[in-house]
Amino acid sequence: MTGKNKEGYPDPTASKAIQAADHMPEHTYRDYCILRAMAYRMGLKITRIKDLGSGKEWSR
């Protein structure tokens, strides 16, 4: 993402807001790391995770 608005000027506030909205929450990320480690031991790979409460999905 370039961090610029429609006219081409830098827009750091919007860039930070979009980046923050796209990040996985800390508590979800901790659980994801545990699940990823367990899956790795079984020879599996977790490619997507979905929060059933909010409906958000993240791909890794």
Residue 21 lies in a domain: yes
Residue 3 lies in a domain: no
Residue 45 lies in a domain: yes
Residue 16 lies in a domain: yes
Number of domains in the chain: 1
Residue 44 lies in a domain: yes
As a whole number of angstroms, the distance between CA 34 and CA 28 comes to 10
Residue 32 lies in a domain: yes
In this predicted model, what pLDDT tens digit does every residue of 26-49 receive, in sequence order? Answer: 999 999 999 999 999 999 999 999
- Tell me, what's the pLDDT at 12? 86
Residue 34 lies in a domain: yes
CB neighbours of 50 closer than 8 A, spacing ≥ 6? 56, 57, 58
- Band of pLDDT at residue 1, cut at 50, 70 and 90: low
Domain extent for 51: 12-59
Q: For the whole model, what pTM was predicted?
A: 0.63
